[in-house]
Amino acid sequence: MKNKNGKKYDIAVIGGAGHVGLPLALVFASKGLKVLIHDINESSMSRIAAGKLPFIEHGAEPLLEKALKEDLLFFSTDPADISSAPALVVTIGTPVDEFHNPVHKAMKECLEPLLPHCSDNTLLVLRSTVFPGTTEWLDNYLKANGKNMHVAFCPERIVQGFAIKELQCLPQIISGTTEKAEKESAALFGMITDKLVPLKPIEAEFAKLFSNAYRYIQFATTNQFYTMTAAAGVDYHNVLEGIKKDYSRAADLPGPGFAAGPCLFKDTMQLAAFSNNQFSLGHAAMLVNEGLVMHMIGTLSKDHELENTTVGLLGMAFKADSDDIRSSLSYKMKKLLKFRVKELLTTDPHVTQDPSLLPADEVVEKSDVLVLCVPHQAYKGLDTKGKPVLDIWGFFRKPRKR
């Protein structure tokens, strides 16, 4: 079927201008598929159509250039344009609300305008992270509304910023509400990897959420160990190095630091909501990871009279070498410190959407004390001019002489 533009697509990525959708769209295009990016964010789509990435995504630029040159990438805000795509992959955001409960209506509101343009043969793949049971619920909802589409859930598990590489080397979990839906999803994701892991939809939903909650708990473990050693006046990084040295069972214990961003916290909270707030490990992890900010402020206040101190925050993105500030704990730190210090200054080499940011040199110059919030590689050569730096990451730490 061709749509009203006369264009025929192999696939439409719904939310395709976002952090998950865009790299996926580019990888599908790199396999020769004609990909429609359907999104409500016109300015991001115009940027992408002009060959510019709206955010840092390593390895994406050449794929974007090639896809545009080969006429494999298309853009639309009009739901009607999806009608000629036999497969839709949904990658919209699936947030939790202010009560830490999932916003169920996001998926429904996204799909409602699209449904009149789908046929019974359309493959509908949910790629966004969803609350357990959502795929089954959607299948029933569609059937109740006279749509017998093939519904699948194939979660995204990339680490943000490295999707182009990881999409093609990570195993892809696939699942479908029917054998046909699973087979079609296998054929689709089989185009980007031969490592497919078939599960039932509910299993795949849990698998995705558990992957993120497990990571979040790992960060909480190391952050709690950090605060324990700090209270004892012990350098945690020496302990960590000692534990990990030639000891494979501790190889995946991460270093301390902010565990934040658009996924780990909210996915842990989705599981908490699912289990009627009985996910005690998840809640404990939240208290530790979110509480790290208060712990750091406590450390600062022990060493400095905060009301007479200018504090500079280095790094406002949610993680190193990223430009994404969504749910960044640097902003929680900023909010809490602002009312306690003489002046608060912030800087980041990658973030572009915060007009209050200053150049790093100026922040160093004007501050009495610095807090390393994000260990961007760009700070490796930063001259901190002998100013004290609160660095829980151990980024500026010199290896211990033995």
Ligand X SMILES: NC(=O)c1ccc[n+]([C@@H]2O[C@H](COP(=O)([O-])OP(=O)(O)OC[C@H]3O[C@@H](n4cnc5c(N)ncnc54)[C@H](O)[C@@H]3O)[C@@H](O)[C@H]2O)c1
Q: Which parts of this chain interact with ligand X (CB under 6 A)?
A: 14-15, 17-21, 38-41, 44, 91-94, 110, 128-129, 156, 158, 160, 262-263
Nearer to ligand X, 78 or 383 (CB): 78
Sheet holding 87-90, edge to edge: 73-76, 35-38, 11-14, 87-90, 123-126, 150-153
Q: How far is the CB of 114 from ligand X (least distance, A)?
A: 8
Nearer to ligand X, 113 or 359 (CB): 113
Q: How far is the CB of 350 from ligand X (least distance, A)?
A: 16
Q: How far is the CB of 227 from ligand X (least distance, A)?
A: 27
Q: What is the DSSP string of 152-172?
A: EE----PPTT-HHHHHHHS-E
Dihedral of CA 83/87/93/97: which sign? positive
Residue nearest to ligand X (CB): 18
Would you say how long the chain is, in residues? Answer: 402
Q: What is the DSSP string of 254-315?
A: PPSS---SSSHHHHHHHHHHHTTT--HHHHHHHHHHHHHHHHHHHHHHHHS-GGG-EEEEE-
User: Cα–Cα distance between 164 and 154 in angstroms, integer?
Assistant: 17
Q: How far is the CB of 267 from ligand X (least distance, A)?
A: 6
Nearer to ligand X, 154 or 345 (CB): 154
The backbone region for 161, taken as left when phi is positive above 0, alpha when psi lies in -120 to 50, beta otherwise, is left
Q: How far is the CB of 399 from ligand X (least distance, A)?
A: 32
Q: How far is the CB of 75 from ligand X (least distance, A)?
A: 12
In single-letter form, the type of residue at position 212 comes to: N
Nearer to ligand X, 111 or 314 (CB): 111
Residue 197 pairs in a beta bridge with 173
Nearer to ligand X, 139 or 324 (CB): 324
Nearer to ligand X, 92 or 271 (CB): 92
